Amino acid sequence: MGLTGLLVAALVAGCADSSSPTSDLSPMTPGTGPGANVVTALQARVLLGAAGNYVILSKSGISNIPTSAIIGNIGVSPIAATAITGFALVRPAGGTFAKSSQVTGNVYAANYAAPTPANLTRAVGDMQAAYTDAAGRKLPNHIGLGAGNIGGLTLAPGLYKWSNTVTIPKNVTLRGSATDVWIFQIAGGLTQASATKVILSGGAVARNVFWQVAGVVALGTTAHLEGVVLAKTAITLKTGASVHGSLFAQTAVTLASNRVVKQ
């Protein structure tokens, strides 16, 4: 075969390779496709500020069907303590916080004595700033992964983005080190099926996992989630569901015999 023939053959082969089916959906650069790529820029943690002093923080209430086990402080603002139900709160007259046998920590509300109202205002402001920070991160490493269904996947650290609801119908694993960060930008809701788990492996820690969710976050019966939930609206946990991390809702948090542990 002459030189011209060799060049033509090489060109044809190259075209065939570029159009042939592949199981690798990875974009070569962040933000250009539906799959996972080699992470080219590490994400920094989302800073929680004063919100980090709480395991559950809500603007419009925390309701509970006993008995739950909450490890860490909980708080509501700007709404008053009457929006915290199912905890059998005990608060001394003029106290800055209340106690509950279901909370290993303190319970704060906007109508408690100073400096609690100011502290809660700062915490809620920082909660909203953290949501804005997470939602505004640029150049996602993964866009529309699984069309929103991430069940059964093992996810590397990085920035994930969806324009729809994300579902977890089967266990999902986050694999990375103790310094790696995951940020999930979800324009819809987050729905986790009953008895499923988000599993951390390789040394990954819950405080470096951030679920920024514009819609409702709903955890099914006995489901387990790892990470910090930054919800624009409501967070609902069904009976026996558990969380290692924090629940920050710009509307309400609904609990039913749950275990939520600050990390």
Q: 153-172: per-residue pLDDT in tens?
A: 999 999 999 999 999 999 99
Higher pLDDT, 39 or 186: 186
For strands 98-100 and 158-162, give the pairing: unpaired
pLDDT at position 42 is: 84
pLDDT one-digit tens code per residue, 82-128:
999 999 999 999 999 999 999 999 999 999 999 999 999 999 999 99
Closest listed residue to residue 74, CA positions, set 28, 36, 127? 127
Q: Which spans in 25-166 are helix H?
A: 116-135
pLDDT of residue 41: 60
Taking phi over 0 as left and psi of -120 to 50 as alpha, with beta for the rest, 134 belongs to alpha
Whether 263 has a pLDDT exceeding 70, the answer reads yes
Residue 3 scores a pLDDT above 60: no
Q: Is the pLDDT of residue 14 over 80?
A: no
Locate 74 and state its tokens. 């909980």
For residue 21, pLDDT beyond 60: no
Q: Does 24 score more than 80 pLDDT?
A: no
**Dist. CA 199–CA 183, nearest whole Å:** 15
Task: Give yes or no for residue 255 having a pLDDT over 70.
Answer: yes
Q: And the tokens for 125?
A: 């402001």
> What pLDDT is stored for residue 5 in this prediction?
46
Q: Residues 197, 203: contact at Cβ < 8 Å?
A: no
